Amino acid sequence: MMIGVLAVQGAFAEHIKMLEILGVKSFEIRNKSDLTKHFDGIILPGVESTVQGKLLRELEMFDFLKEKIKHGLPVFGTCAGMILLAEKIENDNKEYFCTMNISVVRNGYGRQLGSFNTRGNFDGKEIPLVFIRAPYISSVRDNVEILTVCNGKITAARQNNMLATAFHPEVTNNLTVHKYFIEKMVK
């Protein structure tokens, strides 16, 4: 099994470390030539969705990744990664992959000062939830399974091959979300 981790910006090193702890091989996707390597799934890390979207287009990776995701490539998007997957961004007119039947609110909990840590349920387990300038899911449509709700807002969901979290499991020591992605989605 090989997981590609988008490494144009954001907490990609933290995701790679989590995969390493789980014994899963991974590599950084930094440019178009990296997409020629075999990978069984991809992680879209959090950071700034506008910049990630712009870089994906400039580096000529956007269309290829969108098609791969549409055709079943397992993908795990955290924070900005969730925004890239969302069908609609309620407070922004930008569009990215638009592959997941969710609407999101960018910076739903406010700016950097609105960042916080709490605990919540994911896959039947209580885990730490770290929100950094986090979005949230305002609505879901067909075939979307809600996985986590925090303070009345949807913060994790799955639709077929796509997993999205508003929080950052990669900055904790808890492997639950990464393990879920590997074991239940990538196999």
pLDDT classification of 10: cutoffs 50, 70, 90: confident
Confidence of residue 68 (pLDDT cuts 50, 70, 90): very high
**Averaged pLDDT score across all residues of the chain:** 93
- pLDDT (tens digit, 9 = 90+) per residue, 146-157? 999 998 999 999
**Domain segments of the chain as ranges:** 2-186
The pTM for the full model equals 0.94
pLDDT given at position 92: 87
100, 87 contact by CB (below 8 A):
yes
Average pLDDT value for residue range 91-105? 94
CATH number of 2-186: 3.40.50.880
Residues marked as catalytic: 79, 168, 170
Rounded Cα distance, 102 and 37, in Å = 30
Per-residue pLDDT band at 113 (split at 50, 70, 90): low
**Angle, CA 156 vertex, CA 150 and CA 158 arms, to 5°:** 150
Cβ count near 58 (within 10 Å): 10
